[in-house]
Amino acid sequence: MRVTAIDFETANASAASVCSVGISVLQEGVIADDYYSLIRPEKNVSHFNRMNIMVHGIRPADVREAPDFRQVYREILPYFEDTVVCAHNAGFDMGCLKAACINCGLPVPHLRYFDTVRLARKLFPRLEHHRLDDVCDHIGFELNHHNAASDAEGCLMIALQAMNLTGIYDIEEMLAQCGIRIYSL
């Protein structure tokens, strides 16, 4: 089974203000596909907050010619087929996906997902923090933090590390063994 990681960055505090997305796909233990796009936020959520810019470095000028969410949605939808999706702090990323869909009048995709923060807490209980950059440092993955493509790949590396540590390479079986719930969107 495939595992697909997703990460969004936002222009401001609105979950619908997605300004970039990264997706990485793990299949048979290797990164099989990836996707990255800047996104021009919809007009009603297009204000860029200074703090968000400081976090991810994306500015209004960077997304001026970028596709809008409707265009990106058509491109990312196939990534959610026949897979389990993961994200680090998944509530944020699933909230972004849902809010952006609702804001644009698009159907919210039906998908199953798990949170790599919860997985990291089970695998590495002695880590002081379980932020994505801390966990990636711990497992030896060089992360370009808050770049959506790199963050998505980092999530997959946590899932792959969990499979390697448990010796269970069926994602659903490994998650069950670790006591990690699979949610539905």
User: pLDDT tens, 151-163?
Assistant: 999 999 999 999 9
Fold classification of 2-184 is Nucleotidyltransferase; domain 5 (3.30.420)
Whole-prediction pTM: 0.95
Confidence category of residue 1, pLDDT binned at 50, 70, 90: confident
Mean pLDDT of 106-120: 97
Q: Cβ contacts of residue 25 below 8 Å, gap of 6+?
A: 2, 3, 4, 5, 31, 32, 33, 34, 79, 83, 156
Q: Which of 2, 40, 31 is nearest to 152 (CA)?
A: 31
- With a pLDDT cut of 90, the percent of the chain lying above it is 95
How high is the pLDDT of residue 134? 94
Tokens of 176: 């069950």
Confidence category of residue 28, pLDDT binned at 50, 70, 90: confident
Confidence category of residue 76, pLDDT binned at 50, 70, 90: very high
How high is the pLDDT of residue 30? 86
